[in-house]
Chains A and B, each alone.
Chain A
Amino acid sequence: AGLRCQLYAPQRALRTSAALRRASEEHRKEPNSQQHFDPHPAEPPPEREAQGPSPSSTGQGGQESEDYESEEQLQHRILTAAMEFVPEHGWTAEAIAEGAKTLGLSPAAAGMFHTDGSELILHFVSQCNTKLTDLLEQEQKLVQLGEAEKKPTDQFLRDAVEARLRMLIPYIEKWPQAVSILLLPHNIPSSLSLLSSMIDDIWHYAGDQSTDFNWYTRRAVLTGIYNTTELVMMQDTSPDFEDTWRFLANRVADAMNMGDAAKQVQSTGAALAQGLMGAAVTISNLTGLNQRR
């Protein structure tokens, strides 16, 4: 028992679990209480393991524990099941309770999560981000295989943000509520980190290789575009959110122009400086300060 474990609840061999089941078994509506293995509860106290969600090898009675899912995986499954009840109940414990019921668990299992629904929202956001990453990965593969054209940056950004925002459409009515919950102080670290890693991914697939200050500006710009478009989308009533996509296209175009404008400003600055120099020389000539003897 010398292993220190950061987790509050130890991950341990899931022996006599009724609902946590083998990862290989697929759709079981009935919780299987016949899978009671003999390990007696009075056996050596559960070891603490500092492992990730999938217990690969455990200290005691390891023969059946390899395939069981962990508590976290079960929680993920409950949250995923809860998603279909969100349009009706919002991001609340009720939705989670309904989700638990579809998995054959008692609705009391919703007590595992916060009552404000934070975990549900964070779970949804992280799932959307994963889907987006998969989508971008697939597109990249197609480009590499030569089956598709490489998109210009602005088109790429537009498509990526649109794809990601479209995932919100089924839940758009309750989305404002979700955004406000994500802004709660105790949620901000997680929601910010999810947002920034998503923006990172998009730029990565857009082919951004910069290592200088541009890295920050690009991230900041895209974050701004994403957030403002999201806000617009929440109030958009046009068919299939056309207004939102148009807004998005304009913002991306602005961002692209900003890059050009910066260069223009630089060259204009240089031209201006030269003009001023010229003017100064002329004036000094006229006033006789530059007299050559």
Chain B
Amino acid sequence: VHQVFENVAEKYDVMNDSMSLGIHRLWKDILVRKMNPSPGTLLVDVAGGTGDIAFRFINYVRSVRGRQLQQKLKRHQNLSWQEISKSYQEEKTNPLGDSQVVVCDINKEMLKVGKQKAQHLGYSEGLSWVLGNAEELPFDDDKFDVYTIAFGIRNVTRIDLALEEAYRVLKPGGRFLCLEFSHVSNPLLSRLYDLYSFQVIPVLGEVIAGDWKSYQYLVESIRRFPPQEELKAMMEDAGFFKVDYQNLNGGIVAIHSGFKL
């Protein structure tokens, strides 16, 4: 797994766009919207290498925070100048409302690309980059509000261990969200999808990233991954409650959600 991603790190984003025809952005947007984070949320994004989820999270929280401050101003009808300027200052110095995201990845290269992207796009606050293994996270218990793993859990050898670790680092009431390729039940769609996966994707891999094998590995790992219900059962075994999944695009991708209660 390490090897695959070392090769792939630089071109990761480009490949994502070409393979999913850009739809992966929508999937990630839906994930963050489903999360609906409020300012002050602590997120750990595991296998989050290039930071896609992290950046979306920051954007979301910033806009929610802006709205909150606006509403607060609207509610008070007689504010002194001092109070108004204080609230503007608050918006400047604390635009995220103390929300933070920790991006954790097993691969240094991916983190490097992520950090560069962050600098390039202008994200500075509220982000941390940590090297770590999903099966053995370098964090304390009961730390995070939300744990996400987007397109990363299929690369984990022992999924049950990863789930247990997720359970451990989440605060009580915390939420586990997993965005992953999953099982398509519709037979017609399934056939088209298979065709696309096995014929087109490795070719794209060779053309764009010069690496056929890694992308074939990718497609095979998707097929090997447990289907929706099975992942749901595994989450319940790890101790999550209210486990539920939402199929996107007919099951090509699914978002699983569970709570540590």
Contacts and interface: CB of A to CB of B under 8 A. Distances in A.
A71 B261 contact: yes
Interface string A23-64: 000000001010000000110011000000000000000000
A256 interface: no
A122 to B, nearest CB: 18
A211 B217 CA distance: 72
Contacts of B238: 41
Interface stretch (B16-24, B36-44, B120-128): B36-44
A191 to B, nearest CB: 23
B36 A111 contact: yes
Contacts of B239: 15-17, 41
- Looking at chain B's contact residues, the main secondary structure is mixed
A107 B99 CA distance: 12
Interface stretch (A92-100, A155-163, A235-243): A92-100
Interface in A168-198: none
A115 B37 CA distance: 11
A104 B172 contact: yes
A286 interface: no
Interface in A99-114: 100, 103-112
Looking at B36, B142, B172, B242, the one whose CB has the most chain A CB atoms below 10 A away is B172
B172 A97 contact: no
Nearest to A107: B38
Interface residues on A, range: 20 to 34
A104 B145 CA distance: 12
Contact of B237 (A41, A71, A103, A107): A41
Contact of A18 (B37, B38, B261): B261
B64 to A, nearest CB: 9
Contacts, number: 95
Contacts of A213: none
A107 B241 contact: no
A97 to B, nearest CB: 5
Contacts of A9: 241-244
A232 interface: no
Nearest to B243: A9
A107 B41 contact: yes
A10 B235 CA distance: 13
B253 to A, nearest CB: 19
Contacts of A18: 142, 172, 260-261
Q: Which 9 A-B pairs have the closest CB atoms?
A: A105-B173, A109-B173, A31-B172, A106-B173, A19-B172, A108-B175, A18-B172, A106-B171, A106-B145
23 contacts: A9-B243, A18-B142, A18-B260, A18-B261, A19-B173, A33-B141, A33-B172, A41-B239, A71-B242, A93-B38, A104-B172, A105-B172, A105-B173, A106-B170, A106-B175, A108-B35, A108-B41, A108-B259, A109-B173, A111-B34, A111-B35, A111-B257, A111-B259
Given A10-B236, A31-B171, A109-B259, 4 more contacts: A9-B241, A19-B173, A31-B172, A111-B257
